[in-house]
Amino acid sequence: MNPVTQSLIDLLSVKLLHTGPTNSLYRGECEDLGFRNLFGGQILGQSLNAAMQAAPEGFLPHSMHAYFLLAGKVKGHVDYKVEVLRAGRSFAALRVDAIQDGKIILTQNTSFQVPEEGLEHQIPMPDVKGPEGVMSQLEINRKFSAMIPEKIRDKFTADKPIESRPIDPVNVFKPDKQAPEKDVWFKPVNDWSQQDLALHYSLMAYSSDFHLLGTSLLPHGVSFTTKGLQMASLDHAIWFHHKPRIDDWMLYSMESPASSGGRGLNKGRIYNRDGQLMMSVAQEGLIRLKKDL
């Protein structure tokens, strides 16, 4: 296990502080990925991990809906207050408030279900090029490192615990207008088969926030490097269709149906290598472009 992978495992494994009659409290540390604010995927992954620790035995998450209320800080820690709203025979609902410096920065509801068999169908996996021979995002960052601002260059070119390989990557420094669609292969750089199921769920929630918001920028010929562009996640929803065992490449297929009012809507589907649809994702984010700069 290399150090960056162990750091991600430690990051997503929130620690129980105490359990009370109506709620439990957990704590997660923070990581600095080089973004202006705390990476939203970290809060999603940690809040889901806290919810799974507090959920009734035998229940697994099938959906989570989160709202980002305030930007998080990359230094310090985040506390997660978990409340069981309902625990029935087949479904349970839990609420998680992510708290930093005494303020709620995210709130999310997770619905759990006792696993059962049922009718099944899915949208087929897109017919895209496989991950073999595709340059990774890290290789791209290192190849064009001279173009990355010096203050964040080390963060963007450092070893990563998750390898992503975008199909037809965008030149973020000179973006062309194109269809609001994107496909990215990703997988952990180390074997996760020995990690517990909660960490697989948490890793999928964490990973689902990479690449997604940028999809709504594609038809406008702008990127996160564009001067005057303000980007932030506003909400994030995940539906788990199957238990996420991350043992091979996963395909994240994304599209942006619309943008308006300074917001971009993005949808995503995550498939395993065999073409099984594992997760569906939706997110609206702020994409405010200040033209007077």
SS3 185: strand
Pairing assessment for the beta strands 277-289 and 181-188 based on DSSP bridges: unpaired
Rounded CA separation 54/49 (Å): 9
Q: Which of 137, 195, 216, 283 is catalytic?
A: 283
Active site residue 209: yes
Residue 90: left if φ>0, alpha if ψ -120 to 50, beta else—which one? alpha
Instruction: Write down the catalytic residue from 79, 97, 183, 209.
Output: 209
3-state secondary structure of 154: helix
Of the candidates 195, 183, 171, 231, the one whose C-alpha atom is nearest the C-alpha of residue 40 is 231
Which residue among the candidates 195, 202, 233, 259 is catalytic per the annotation?
233
Calculate the CA 160 to chain-centre distance. Answer: 15
> Is 260 a known active-site residue?
no
39, amino acid identity: F
Is 53 labeled as catalytic in the residue annotation? no
Is residue 221 within 8 A of residue 176, CB to CB? The reply is yes
Catalytically annotated residues: 209, 233, 283
